[in-house]
Structure 1
Amino acid sequence: MFAYKGFARNYSSNFTNELSQQLTFTSAGTDVLTIPTNQSLGKFTPLTGNVSQMKYFYETLSNLRNKPLRIAHYGDSLILGDIITDYLREKLQQRFGGQGVGMLNIISDDNRMRVTTIHSYSEDWEYYSFLTRNPNQLPLGISGALAIPKAGSWVKYEANSIYKSSSSFNVVKIYYSSADYNSTIQYSVDNAAMTKQKLIASNGVQELVIKAKGNSKTFYMQFLSGKSPLFYGVSLESSGGGVYVDNFPMRGNSGSSLADISEELLEQFNKNLHYDLIILSYGANVSSPNKGIFTVYENKMVNVIKKYQKAFPNTSFLLVSSTDRTQKIGTRFVTNPDVLILLETQKRIAEKTGITFWDLSQMMGGRDSMDDWVNASPPLALKDYAHFTSLGGSKVAGFLFDALMDSYSKFKN
């Protein structure tokens, strides 16, 4: 309803292949995605809207010590492969501490694109998400997905040193529900001997915390026996305080599908994860010749945000606007008129829900700016004129970090 015709069908092959060609970075202990100093695109754009509700985020940021701060970054294909999120995580952890990529799904459709974590799994898991049929109405997790194992199903995560923030972890947290007293897994950290673990029998969301002996690189988990639980994800973190940024992308999603996660489940996750900031980055899949669609979208997103505000009462919310998105008219690439309607719609969504707004399109340079990002050297956006390269994503994240820190500085003063 909200997607460009044909875009979702072609996305998997065309977009993924082009983006994969961009991800040829070598392993390094330092930030290898530093933005070239000769790259002048982009401009500082402050947070607007109800910035005062960012207090929950800023108050925790001011008192980290041994208390972690957590951010959920929801989005569409713009953040697939951890793009934007990865560099924002790196910048925040550089300044405020923390180590690890945070929450990862059991099954992922962007694992080939993600360079921060090498992620593999057996093919016998049952997987449900916003994008699949869910005939039994199973409760989708905080990311909008869940996975059900068979005996022998396994998943493995390996930290990658593309960034310092993704290079290691020493705490693993597993989130699941609907286990029974016989539900048993085994796990291994850094290829050590397997440890068997019985899960807690409960219908509510459970958190299993595993502490490694030191900075670790790999985690392997396998389901052995008993009732098959619903697994919602694994989080790779470090002990103590610091900042964790969870990347929750879902291709072809306008954001309205977040309504499919039950309020009860959101509240259960909040008890474990305690999100201080939720970022919503949508817009790539909102376009239609029927202008009434934008009103429908506005109403749906207002309801989604209000639902999340109820489930996360002490959490700040930030709505990131659509990118500039262009179409070819004659020999020129110009901003799609729908983008201008969408930007105004998103501003109204932020106003109606009393949350903060960040104008990504304005940061890019406003109208017709996507063409400059595509033709930059090196390229900052893909030739679909809708998505960023990893380098472009890091540039966006850098400007978002600057906007957050500018607002944080004003909060402290």
Structure 2
Amino acid sequence: MIKFIKYIFTIIIVGIIVGCSIAESKTTTTNVSGIVDFGDPNAKKFVNRIKSLISTKKTDQVVNIIQFGDSHSAADFFTGEFRTLMQKKYGNAGIGWITPVAIKGQNHTAVSWKSKNWDILSSRVLSNLDFPMGGFIAKPINNVATIQIEPKVIYNKNWQVKLTFKTHHNTAKSLELFDINNKQVNFNYTPKKNVWQTATVVSKMPLVIKAQNDLELGGIWLTRYHQSGVVVSAIATNGAKQSIWQKWHSGWFKELGFSQSDLVILEYGTNESFDETLDADEYRKNLVSNIRQIRKTLPNATILLISPPDTMINENEAPKSFSQIKEIQKQVAKSEKTLFWDWQQAMGGKFAIKEWKQRELAKTDLVHQTLQGYKESARIFYKDLDKFIRKNRY
């Protein structure tokens, strides 16, 4: 009888141990996303500034967020949903950076353009031009080139508009601005021949830009005048790699400095992961260099690296360099002390893109997401960032 009791007791103990092991195994394989802080020196400043938008009554306190990236950002579906969620909680301070005209194959959820007689040049396909930040140049085809910029939600209040441009002659007639009633907007600037410059004007929207053919127009910033809240800018190009920054003119970081950004997000890596000739050391070196240049330009900004979302070549295979790219990003985030968000993990882990496709959240190419997929990704990212902000009480 005693031996039988010992036998039963042994079985119970073994069962408990096995059960615990299974439970532990299930726990370790559960995909849990989150913002990882590898010691960013400005995380405290960012958290305090974002929280102060709720507690303060100032009318001109703005938290600027910039997301640099590839096609995942260029559609503005991810950043657009993220913008909406942030502004719903912290206040709507405007739209942020936009391309000078509409770019074929790209999108912006908050603004539309009507342009006439413009040619667009892209650093994605050209290397020998003096590109400003963002990598797009709009050039008039003749002396009657116009652009009408209109927010998709009109506010009957003033906007602050910053234009980046370059003239080839010392004349202030190269660029003129008009309101929707064709009344000229007071826009004073000192032309600097063949030098990119940024000038600011206050006007209601829609805004009409008229230019002569000795002008080149770069990115445009749209923020609500004397309105506190959050601005989320998407500065991105379809097919871009992190190295696209090297095609922009050497002084473009000054343009970044004008943004006074509080959070700079780097969303690259998908196109690198498909590169079978990837030089991993060169990629790492370039990423480190770019982060350090951001630190130099925006010493008070927090930097966040986003890994590529889960991606596959076909139903059975991931891109050759995917794991290597993500590992390098994580290592650089540690060495350069930035924040890090694992987009693949947030989707559910390796090969999650197949399930997303079944749920109509990903496209059949197993690379890009649908509108609803990008919105779902943005909601996960927003929740993770919100959790990071709430749990950090400095």
- 1:287 partner amino acid: S
Q: Which has the larger radius of gyration?
A: 2
Select 2:45's aligned residue among 47, 56, 67.
56
1:115 shift after superposition: 3.9
Map of 1:275-286 to 2, 5 A cutoff? Answer: 275-286=261-272
Does the residue aligned with 2:354 lie in a helix, a strand or coil?
Answer: helix
Distance of 1:117 and 1:42 partners within structure 2: 36
| TM-score of the superposed pair, with normalisation by structure 2 | 0.80
Does the residue aligned with 2:272 lie in a helix, a strand or coil?
Answer: coil
In structure 2, the partner of 1:151 is 143
In structure 2, the partner of 1:205 is 197
Distance of 1:410 and 1:263 partners within structure 2: 39
1:338 aligns with 2:337: no
Distance of 2:158 and 2:308 partners within structure 1: 36
- 2:364 partner amino acid: K
In structure 1, the partner of 2:13 is none
In structure 2, the partner of 1:174 is 162
Map of 1:378-393 to 2, 5 A cutoff? Answer: 379-393=360-374
Count matched residues.
353
Does the residue aligned with 1:307 lie in a helix, a strand or coil?
Answer: helix
What are the superposed Cα offsets for residues 219-261 of structure 1, whole Å, 9 maximum, x if unpaired? 22111x5x83432222222122111111111111111221333
Select 1:319's aligned residue among 305, 312, 315.
305
Distance of 2:81 and 2:302 partners within structure 1: 20
- 2:38 partner amino acid: G
Q: Any conservation in 1 of the 2:273–2:319 contact (CA below 8 Å)? A: no
Distance of 1:289 and 1:308 partners within structure 2: 26
Map of 1:4-403 to 2, 5 A cutoff? Answer: 44-64=33-53, 65=58, 66-110=60-104, 113-125=107-119, 127-135=120-128, 137-138=129-130, 140-149=131-140, 150-161=142-153, 170-179=158-167, 180-189=170-179, 191-195=180-184, 197-202=187-192, 203=195, 205-212=197-204, 216=205, 218-223=206-211, 225=212, 228-239=214-225, 240-262=227-249, 264-270=251-257, 272-287=258-273, 290=276, 293-328=279-314, 332-376=315-359, 379-403=360-384
In structure 2, the partner of 1:9 is none
The runs of 5 or more residues in structure 2 that have no matched partner are 1-29
In structure 2, the partner of 1:27 is none
- 1:248 partner amino acid: I
CA 1:112/1:129 → structure 2, altered by over 3 Å: closer, same or farther?
A: closer
Q: Any conservation in 1 of the 2:149–2:208 contact (CA below 8 Å)? A: yes
Q: Any conservation in 2 of the 1:44–1:402 contact (CA below 8 Å)? A: no
In structure 2, the partner of 1:11 is none
Distance of 2:62 and 2:284 partners within structure 1: 33
The runs of 5 or more residues in structure 1 that have no matched partner are 1-40
Distance of 2:252 and 2:108 partners within structure 1: 27
- 1:257 partner amino acid: I
Q: Any conservation in 2 of the 1:176–1:206 contact (CA below 8 Å)? A: yes
- 1:158 partner amino acid: E
Distance of 2:157 and 2:105 partners within structure 1: 19
Distance of 2:172 and 2:178 partners within structure 1: 20
Q: Any conservation in 2 of the 1:103–1:233 contact (CA below 8 Å)? A: yes
CA 1:262/1:344 → structure 2, altered by over 3 Å: closer, same or farther?
A: same
CA 1:59/1:148 → structure 2, altered by over 3 Å: closer, same or farther?
A: farther
CA 1:55/1:188 → structure 2, altered by over 3 Å: closer, same or farther?
A: same
CA 1:288/1:327 → structure 2, altered by over 3 Å: closer, same or farther?
A: closer
Q: Any conservation in 2 of the 1:81–1:110 contact (CA below 8 Å)? A: no
What are the superposed Cα offsets for residues 312-345 of structure 1, whole Å, 9 maximum, x if unpaired? 22211100001111233xxx44544532222112
Distance of 1:79 and 1:307 partners within structure 2: 21
